[in-house]
């Protein structure tokens, strides 16, 4: 039986994928920070006779310690992980800069650091599976934002948009660096941009942006069941490449600046240092 781990598996795209793989007979571990959403997912799993294969894992992935603990819990409970799908995200486009208890800027911590810790931490469990895949769901192919190497915590010139876009670009580089770190690994790492999809994402935006975003979603967005089609095809049959990136069905050229090898290595080493400092604190 396949084991599928999905962060943000209790809502939106992650939940759509969780229910898909439960219907396919897989064991699914869905990670989220809201117990009520986890319970709702388990009720839906029950309704499709998959209660015994569905697990809700409560974790606040803004915390590096929680992400590390999640790795240990998964390793204890699973001999292998076939698919790791990284969807956990909460946009903070407005408002003041906030930091986590560990001192990291919120978007950097949730949308990038947790994905770094889970990708690298679960590598042995993934490599124990016959065809392991990591799908990092973000916005590859969008030429907006950059990694602010001189100030990755955005302590000097913060804006929510800058932080959100930085987390996207950091995830582009995470996939590049991950592939370079483990030459010969069977893991296929896929960066994936689903386009605009009608999820609960606008619920967390302030008014009037929430209403505006919902209206735009109603007009232009793809539904979750439709959006997960190409994701599932890639997850079940990824290209035979250590790293690939897609925007919908279109494979992106890796020579674009967003996937620069030097920048990827620089961010990888910077992240290692930040995590070591946090562990020592
Ligand atoms: N929807 C789009 O149009 C779109 C477009 C491009 C890219 N994407 C990307 O696709 C991915 C999924 O987006 P979505 O629209 O499906 O999101 P969503 O519906 O808002 O779901 C987000 C998920 O992340 C979880 N989450 C949020 N904060 C968390 C935390 N601190 N710890 C653990 N889990 C947390 C949420 O669960 P809890 O609330 O329980 O924590 C939920 O399960 C994201 O990476 C997003 O950037 C989406």
For ligand 1, atom 40: residue with the closest CA: 34
Q: Give a yes or no: residue 43 inside a domain.
A: yes
CATH number of residue 145's parent domain: 3.40.50.720
Q: Give a yes or no: residue 47 inside a domain.
A: yes
The ligand 1 site (C-beta within 6 Å) comprises: 8, 10-14, 31-34, 37, 59-62, 87-90, 110, 137-139, 193-194, 196-197, 199-201
Q: Give a yes or no: residue 125 inside a domain.
A: yes
Q: Give a yes or no: residue 187 inside a domain.
A: yes
Q: Give a yes or no: residue 161 inside a domain.
A: yes
Q: Give a yes or no: residue 206 inside a domain.
A: no
pLDDT tens track, the chain, 281 positions: 999 999 999 999 999 999 999 999 999 999 999 999 999 999 999 999 999 999 999 999 999 999 999 999 999 999 999 999 999 999 888 889 999 999 999 999 999 999 999 999 999 999 999 999 999 999 999 999 999 999 999 999 999 999 999 999 999 999 999 999 999 999 999 999 999 999 988 888 888 888 888 888 888 899 999 999 999 999 999 999 999 999 999 999 999 999 999 999 999 999 999 999 888 87
For 148, what's the count of Cα atoms within 13 Å in the CB-facing half-sphere?
19
Q: Give a yes or no: residue 165 inside a domain.
A: yes
For ligand 1, atom 19: residue with the closest CA: 12
Backbone phi, then psi, for 234, in 5-degree steps? -70, -40
Full domain range(s) for residue 133? 3-198+225-280
Ligand 1 test: best mutation among 6, 7, 9, 13, most atoms within 8 Å of CB?
13
Which positions ≥6 away from 67 have C-beta within 8 Å? 59, 61, 113, 114, 117, 118, 121
CA–centroid distance, 170 to ligand 1, in Å, is 17
CA–centroid distance, 222 to ligand 1, in Å, is 16
Domains in the chain: how many in total?
1
Q: Give a yes or no: residue 209 inside a domain.
A: no
Strand extents, DSSP E, the chain:
3-7, 27-32, 54-58, 83-86, 133-137, 188-193, 243-247, 250-251
CB 194 within 8 A of CB 249: no
């Amino acid at each position: 039986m396949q084991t599928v781990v999905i962060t943000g598996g209790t809502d939106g795209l992650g939940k759509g994928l969780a229910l898909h793989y439960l219907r396919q007979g897989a064991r699914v571990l869905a990670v989220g920070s809201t117990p009520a959403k986890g319970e709702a997912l388990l009720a839906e799993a029950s309704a499709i006779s998959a209660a015994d294969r569905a697990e809700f894992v409560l974790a606040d992935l803004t915390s590096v310690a929680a992400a590390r603990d999640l790795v240990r819990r998964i390793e204890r409970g699973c001999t292998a992980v076939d698919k790791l799908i990284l969807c956990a995200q909460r946009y903070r486009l407005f408002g003041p800069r906030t930091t986590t208890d560990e001192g990291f800027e919120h978007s950097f911590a949730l949308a990038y650091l947790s994905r770094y810790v889970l990708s690298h931490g679960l590598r042995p469990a993934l490599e124990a599976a016959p065809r392991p895949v990591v799908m990092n769901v973000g916005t590859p192919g969008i030429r907006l934002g950059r990694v602010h190497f001189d100030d990755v915590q955005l302590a000097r010139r913060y804006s929510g948009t800058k932080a959100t876009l930085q987390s996207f670009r950091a995830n582009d580089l995470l996939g590049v660096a991950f592939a370079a770190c483990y030459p010969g690994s069977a893991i296929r790492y896929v960066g994936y941009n689903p386009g605009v999809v009608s999820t609960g994402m606008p619920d967390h935006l302030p008014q009037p942006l929430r209403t505006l975003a919902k209206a735009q979603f109603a007009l232009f967005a793809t539904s979750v069941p439709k959006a997960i089609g190409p994701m599932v095809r890639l997850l079940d049959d990824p290209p035979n490449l250590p790293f690939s990136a897609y925007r919908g069905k279109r494979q992106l050229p890796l020579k674009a600046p967003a996937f620069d090898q030097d920048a990827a290595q620089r961010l990888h080493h910077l992240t290692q240092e930040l995590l070591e400092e946090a562990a020592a604190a």
